[in-house]
Amino acid sequence: EKGGFDHFMLKEIHEQPKAYRDTIRGRVHDNGRQIDLKELNITPVQIQNIRNVHIVACGTAYHAGLVGAKVIEQLVRIPVASDVASEYRYSSPLITPDTLVIVVSQSGETADTLAALREAKAKGAHVLAITNVVGSSIARDADDVLVTLAGPEIAVASTKAYSSQLIAFYLLGMYLAQVRATQTEDDIAQMIMALNALPEQVESMLENSDAMKAYAEQISHHEHLFFIGRGLDYAVAQEGSLKLKEISYIHSEAYAAGELKHGTLALIEEGIPVIALVTQEAVLEKTVSNIKEVKARGADVMAISHEEHIAGLLKSVDQAFAIPKTLPLFTPALSVVPLQLLSYYASLARGNDVDKPRNLAKSVTVE
Ligand code: BG6
């Protein structure tokens, strides 16, 4: 049942190329220049009228929403707010009929997310669910469903569901941009090419997982570490940090790289591991400055970036891991993979039950 893998989590990490392909398939027009989301009920007129977007979810799905928010804001130029469902539902959210509420849930059964959906619907929003389970409560109650085709996810720590949610957000963002003409057809065509390349790029990273395994064994002896990044890298850092905590029980914090000096730098001491995500070219030099701040205080820094930046980064960091090149917007779908491997191998090195971490349930149907 684990298909030759030692754990469901590792199997599911390796199923990501297929999950990406299945989630993309049928949603890209044959001409490679348009997105087709035929399953959606929302009309082009309703899409034109959207004034703001709320993205609501729990846990890892919330982290996918953080990426989704940046994707939609950049491609469609409408304001997007993300919140965890347990806060959103009690926050008297500012909803009008022109608000699109996107709920994200692997299982489609998370109690707080379902309640948030109902609250949003009652206030007149159009609710679109991104879920992995077609017949789930959330899928049934939403006005629209965009299904991720990741297949069943058994390991408690979510991997392929998260990354497929990213793919769903890319498709949705591109589709909204197409309808509202905020991106040209050439832009969309270029994005489709990059999207279609992702599955093979993930495969190439999975073939080279030894470096991450070795690094995981190294950090497995630590009790605290940091993830830093800016923009989309910060969003992925938050997921990497959660994954590591969930299954290795190593305490970590994800920090917006530029915010470290406003407090957290006090915790950086000799030998503490810092994992720096440095994939966003527009802010690369800024993150390098933050890396220097932690290096000066003795941190042991691992950078994750594109091949072309590795040689330069190695002047400031202790180790570096290269991920394949894609559009800046799509890097989360690649950069999360080494972080998943890191958590998996760190958990293994510490002798934990990888697929069933303590105190966590796969699906939380209580509030
Ligand atoms: C949690 C799971 O309690 O629920 C997390 O342990 C998950 O892994 C979260 O991200 C949300 O679940 P779902 O099914 O709504 O995506």
pLDDT above 70 covers a percentage of the chain that reads 100
Closest ligand 1 atom to residue 113 Cα is 15
pLDDT, tens digit, 9 for 90 and up, residues 207-241? 999 999 999 999 999 999 999 999 999 999 999 99
pLDDT above 90 covers a percentage of the chain that reads 95
Q: What is the pLDDT of residue 55?
A: 98
Q: Does the pLDDT at position 37 exceed 90?
A: yes
Q: What is the pLDDT of residue 264?
A: 86
Q: What is the pLDDT of residue 15?
A: 98
pLDDT, tens digit, 9 for 90 and up, residues 249-305? 999 999 999 999 998 888 999 999 999 999 999 999 999 999 999 999 999 999 999
Question: Candidates 245, 362, 367: which one to mutate for ligand 1, based on the most atoms within 8 Å of Cβ?
Answer: 362
Q: What is the mean pLDDT of residues 163-183?
A: 98
Of all protein residues, whose CA lies closest to atom 7 belonging to ligand 1?
A: 59
The rounded Å distance from CA 246 to ligand 1 centre is 11
The rounded Å distance from CA 157 to ligand 1 centre is 8
Interacting residues of 191 by C-beta distance below 8 A, sequence separation 6+: 170, 174, 183, 327, 329, 330
Strand partners, 251: 224
Look-up: residue for tokens 């489609």? 108
Q: What is the pLDDT of residue 182?
A: 98
* Ligand 1 lined by 363 (C-beta under 6 Å): yes
Q: What is the pLDDT of residue 257?
A: 96
Q: Strand ranges (DSSP E) for the chain?
A: 52-57, 80-84, 99-105, 126-131, 144-147, 224-229, 251-256, 273-277, 300-306, 319-323
243 catalytic? Reply is no
The rounded Å distance from CA 267 to ligand 1 centre is 30
pLDDT, tens digit, 9 for 90 and up, residues 348-363? 999 999 999 998 988 8
Note whether ipTM > 0.95 here: yes
pLDDT band for 184, please (50, 70, 90 cuts). very high
Of all protein residues, whose CA lies closest to atom 15 belonging to ligand 1?
A: 105
Q: Shortest CA distance to 13 belongs to which of 205, 229, 165?
A: 205
* Ligand 1 lined by 52 (C-beta under 6 Å): no
Residue 189 in tokens: 């065509």
Q: What is the pLDDT of residue 364?
A: 86
Q: Check 2, 18, 295, 362 and give the catalytic one.
A: 362
